[in-house]
Amino acid sequence: MALRAGLLTTLEPSSPLFAFSSSLPKTPHRLLLFPRRPPAPVRRFFSPLISYNLHRSPVASMASTASYEKELAAAKKAASLAARLCQTVQKALVQSDVQSKSDKSPVTVADYGSQALVSLVLKTELPSESFSLVAEEDSSDLRKDGAQDTLRRITELVNSTLSIDGTYNITLSEEDVLVAIDSGKSEGGRNGRHWVLDPIDGTKGFLRGDQYAIALALLDEGRVVLGVLACPNLPLTSIAIPDEHSSHKQVGCLFSAKIGDGAFMQSLNGSSSAKIHVSAIENSKDASFFESFEAAHSMHDLSSVIAEKLGVQAPPVRIDSQAKYGALARGDGAIYLRFPHKGYREKIWDHAAGYIVVTEAGGVATDAAGNNLDFSKGRYLDLDTGIIVTNKKLMPALLKAVQDAVKEKSQSASLL
């Protein structure tokens, strides 16, 4: 009797399981194909071997793609609640007569509150699963002397958001909130499941009253298998289409994707979702660029050289946060470039959710060398120069333009 790649082959007549095998339709080898569910005695007998092979078999990997429905539902719930909390804080910030861009306390409250809510919802909705969260924040600063007022505000905001939603009949103490925030200390990695969260991606956009996102993804054995982007200020219609009534556009998008199932968008108020797809543009001259709004986040000069090489005529669209990934996934533009300044290390929470939303919408995301993005190495992405995202038809030309521009920049620097 032999077990390989999830297949149990010929049973000897002396085997206690031969009688079960004999009742099956006759085939040359009487194959029992896993992961089709066998009777309980067989499951008990082979459970260690089946478990081993499910982590290594391509058959098992394909079968697992249908197993993330409850996780996706929990992620959408968590991100939506966090978005509601952030909207409350941003609205108060924008309406304040004394707002200051140097005052980071509003975004601090929203950041911590968002992380606490996401942690709480995921643990509540998925109680039987071991919980690992890779996230930006921990509670160390909130436990220091002088932070009591901030912690009180966060706790009140979290409880108010839960009360208004009405799904969970609970009230959190300040210590409960601290514990929930500290759930995000995981280092991630290639083994097991890890949630990946940026509680507010695009803090400067948040402070300006502009674009930001709550970005949540799930890693399974190092692969991004689902992702959700809640973008409270992103219009439901394309930002690429000029509209004189743009101030009256309905805003608030929830993007979601599950591996092998495509990408979808719905409004944050709970409307039905619609499948989305990246732009089908083939001519690079017609391709519009997305870039980070803040010049400090990306080398805009390098992006300009690349655009020139491609003959792009449209000016770049600069918006904050992973909202760019959502906008690109639904076809608002065709190319997203991000080239961090030397020494900066990309964190996985800045890209994981956006990555799967774009790739499930038919896009491609690589580093500047054309390597796939690898989220399995812990809290950071190891990249060659930067990140490029586009559709499959434009990628070859874009990749060549990027590599030529990077090479020229490097040669120019070496002459100085």
> Above pLDDT 90, what percent of the chain?
63
| Per-residue pLDDT reduced to its tens digit, 28-83 | 333 333 334 444 443 333 333 333 233 333 333 443 444 899 999 999 999 999 99
N-term to C-term CA, the chain: 69
Task: Give me 366's structure tokens.
Answer: 């690589």
Q: DSSP label at 402?
A: H
pLDDT at residue 403 is higher than 60: yes
Q: Which two tokens stand for residue 210?
A: 């502009």
What is each CA distance from 121 to 75, 110, 174, 325, in whole angstroms? Answer: 8, 16, 17, 24
For residue range 203-214, list pLDDT tens digits in order.
989 988 899 999
Q: What integer pLDDT is reported at residue 353 of this predicted model?
A: 98
Provide the pLDDT for residue 410. Answer: 81
Tell me the three state secondary structure of residue 395: helix
Say how far apart CA 51 and CA 66 lie, in whole Å. Answer: 18
Could you tell me the CA-to-CA distances from 364 to 235, 327, 372, 383 in Å, in that order? 24, 14, 9, 15
Provide the pairing of β-strand 289-292 with 317-319.
parallel
In this prediction, residue 291 carries a pLDDT of 79
Q: How many CB atoms lie within 10 A of CB 390?
A: 29
- What stretch of H or E contains 45? helix 40-54
Q: Which has the higher per-residue pLDDT, 11 or 71?
A: 71
In angstroms, the Cα distances linking 113 to 34, 77, 86, 350 are 44, 15, 8, 18
State yes or no: is 9 an active-site residue.
no
**Known catalytic membership, residue 111:** yes
Rounded Cα–Cα distance for residues 309 and 412 (Å):
17
Q: What is the pLDDT of residue 5?
A: 37
Task: For the full predicted model, state whether its pTM sits above 0.95.
Answer: no
Q: How far apart (Å, rounded) are the C-alpha atoms in residues 236 and 225?
A: 25
Work out the angle between the directed axes of helices 69-95 and 105-125 (0-180°, nearest 10).
160
Nearest to 334 by CA among 361, 352, 299: 361
Q: Exactly one of 108, 155, 161, 203 is catalytic; which is it?
A: 203
CA distances (Å), 194 to each of 66, 88, 278, 301, 414, in order?
A: 18, 29, 27, 36, 42
Annotated catalytic residue within 108, 111, 332, 385: 111
Are the C-beta atoms of 172 and 290 separated by less than 8 Å? Answer: no
Using omega within 30 degrees of 0 as the cis cutoff, is the peptide bond preceding 35 cis? Answer: yes
Residue 193 exposed, middle or buried by CB count within 10 Å (0-12, 13-18, 19+): middle
